Amino acid sequence: MATRGRKPFANRKAAFQNPTEEKGVHPTILKQARKTGQLNLSGRNLSTVPDTVWRLNLDVPEEARDVSLDNTDERWWEQTELTKLILASNLLTEISQEISNFQALSVLDIHDNRLESLPQSIRELENLVKLDVSRNKLKELPESVTYLRNLRSLHVEYNELVRVSEGIGHLDKLEDLDLSNNQLSELPPQVGHLYHVLKFNVSNNRLSSLPPEIGSMNALKCLDVTHNQLTHLPEDLGNLPNLEQLYLRHNQLSGIPLLKNCKNLKEIHLGNNQIRKITAEHLQHLESVTVLDIRDNKISELPEEITCLSGLQRLDLTNNDLTGLPFVLGTITSLKSIVLDGNPMKSIRRDIIMRGTVELKKYLCSRIEDPQPVEPTNKGIQNGGDTGIVGGSGEGLKAHDIQQSKSLDYSNKKATAVPDDIWEVAMKAGVTSVNLSKNQFTDLPSNLILLESTLKEFNFGFNKLTKLNPDISLFLRLTTLDLRNNGLSDLPRDMESLQDMREIVLSCNRFTTLPSSLYEMKKLEIIFADNNKITTIDAAGFKNLPMLATLDLQNNNIDQVPPELGNCTQIKSLLLNGNAFRNPRPAILTKGTLALLEYLRSRIVS
């Protein structure tokens, strides 16, 4: 046979394979890198970087050695210097000293490898702007890195750092510094020389204090020291004029910092500490704050000076020792979310808290005593004669009261109609709130249409409705609608036009499913649908309501809770007790809304 005396090729493909390709880098990739100045070798399971990579711009490429000089398509000598090198997500244990060959390099990404050190020659990369060495095994920030004077972004998170070189202060052009998830017990004072850093993350370390020099980082906008062991903060922290976000959660702080000169501060996150008291002195410097998170502390009282935070939008007081709230809290017009779960509230009824932030603020405002009552006036009142009573002397109302309060309360009268003169006064007064509850109405009063342009709150509970008139959809300014204790099983589809609706009460009716029109009301914050006959939960529908904070579906016939409901993280109060489902178990329900949503998400099949 022709092959006698020879060993046949075990792998014909290997016989013609380029030696460079065997090491994980195809010549075509290197060729492209010479043209573009960028080389991405991430996710290739490389344990070493081939020498051909380090000599990318020095050696004559293999494919060009027999190329004619007349071939303008292969002018390999007109190559672009490498400016971006990505070696992330490999198995590298070292980087060659020859990295200094890439003098033009501006981006070096070697995150997610097994590096325990960096080459000294890295200091020669004078044009390096971004360096990412995160998710490696570095035990200290190499001194060579501190010579990279043009560096603007340095990520060293998820290593094993126990110290940071004092030379870090030489990186005076740095704007983004991430040292999170290491083992640092202290920071060098030289961090105060980083005058241009905008974002500084040292979360998840072992810091028990911060150097006072941190107050010199004048450009700092975001400081994250979450998950450390801080017991106190330096006064100099209050000297950061551009600070916007301060994260101090999961430490051992006993008080909040005095931030006298942080005039641009927008968010303070102080949850999971040991704070017992907030003083007026602390609050008076926080006028620009929009988010105040002081959950999971030991605060027993909130001072009235909370109103100093005139732009406050979210206040998280979860799991403290509060028994009440200052009534003036309700006067902060910008406040959209107050979270109170896990507090031993005594002065505010639970049902008021469960109605959500809007109703809670109304309640607080109603308890404020006004030292200067509005003087009586009969301007605009044309009915009632000398007595000022409209609707008859027996069941009549004071026209003056309607005028002053801009509200019409004709409740608990067993009525089937409202006298015409009352409607006339209400229209002229521009009434915004109407209460017709606890009567005998079977339909909307025809004269209600007179308030079409002003009505915002309408209580029609405890009547005898079996069907709601579609005309309700004409009241476009309506924000609150109470239909509890009727005989309703559906709502008009046209109600989707009520785009200002924030709260709807459907408790104690005959609904078997929630009406589809609700899912189109994008500003809806509160839904009470307890004590009905609802059998299913439309998780996708609730996900479509970005502002939904309170959802009460207690005492229905729900036999299954969809795991996707866990994705509705905008919900702060979810009540599901008294239904037919077996999962989630009662033990999960009692843990509160956050735990319940997390449990549901864990059951989503990916």
- The structure tokens listed for 33 are 């890198």
Q: Which residues contact 371 (CB under 8 A, 6 or more apart)?
A: none
- The structure tokens listed for 184 are 């640092």
Whole-number average pLDDT of the chain = 87
Query: Rounded to the nearest 5 degrees, what angle is found at the Cα of 368, between the Cα atoms of 364 and 373?
Result: 140
**What totals of helices (H) and strands (E) does the chain contain, helices first?**
12, 23
78-92, 280-294, 397-411: which has the minimum mean pLDDT?
Answer: 397-411
Average pLDDT over residues 72-78: 57
- The torsion angles phi and psi of 233, rounded to 5 degrees, stand at -130, 145
Summarised one tens digit per residue, pLDDT across range 274-302 is 999 998 888 888 889 999 999 999 999 99
Q: Which residue has the higher pLDDT, 58 or 526?
A: 526
| 106-132 exposure pattern, b = at least 16 Cβ within 10 A, e = fewer | bbbbbbbbebeebbeebbbbeebbbbb
Terminus-to-terminus CA distance in the chain, angstroms? 59
What are the residues facing 408 on neighbouring strands?
A: 434
Structural domain includes residue 569? yes
Taking a C-beta distance cutoff of 8 angstroms, is the pair 570, 543 a contact? Answer: no
Res 41 pLDDT > 60: yes
Give the number of C-alpha atoms closer than 13 A to the C-alpha of residue 282, restricted to the C-beta side: 15
Q: Which of 405, 447, 401 is nearest to 424 (CA)?
A: 447
- The structure tokens listed for 349 are 């009824």
Q: Tell me the three state secondary structure of residue 457.
A: strand
Q: Tell me the three state secondary structure of residue 528.
A: strand
CATH number of the domain encompassing residue 538: 3.80.10.10
Res 182 pLDDT > 70: yes
When divided into structural domains, the chain yields a total of: 1
Q: What percent of the chain has pLDDT over 90?
A: 65
Taking a C-beta distance cutoff of 8 angstroms, is the pair 501, 476 a contact? Answer: no
Summarised one tens digit per residue, pLDDT across range 116-132 is 999 999 999 999 999 99
The residue assigned the tokens 């406050």 is: 312
- The torsion angles phi and psi of 319, rounded to 5 degrees, stand at 55, 55
Structural domain includes residue 571? yes
Q: Which domain holds residue 566?
A: 389-602
Structural domain includes residue 334? no
Structural domain includes residue 293? no
- The structure tokens listed for 98 are 């020859």
Structural domain includes residue 72? no
Summarised one tens digit per residue, pLDDT across range 189-238 is 999 999 999 999 999 999 999 999 999 999 999 999 999 999 999 999 99
CA distance 263 to 114: 43
Summarised one tens digit per residue, pLDDT across range 250-274 is 999 998 878 988 999 999 999 999 9
Taking a C-beta distance cutoff of 8 angstroms, is the pair 578, 554 a contact? Answer: yes
Taking a C-beta distance cutoff of 8 angstroms, is the pair 250, 225 a contact? Answer: no
Residue 16: per-residue pLDDT? 40
Structural domain includes residue 409? yes
Structural domain includes residue 586? yes
CA distance 155 to 141: 11
Taking a C-beta distance cutoff of 8 angstroms, is the pair 240, 264 a contact? Answer: no
Average pLDDT over residues 548-576: 92
Average pLDDT over residues 45-74: 71
At residue 23 the predicted structure's pLDDT band, cuts being 50, 70 and 90, is low
- The structure tokens listed for 475 are 């009241």
Give the number of C-alpha atoms closer than 13 A to the C-alpha of residue 497, restricted to the C-beta side: 12
CA distance 386 to 333: 39
Q: Tell me the three state secondary structure of residue 552.
A: strand
DSSP-assigned letter for residue 374: P
Structural domain includes residue 115? no
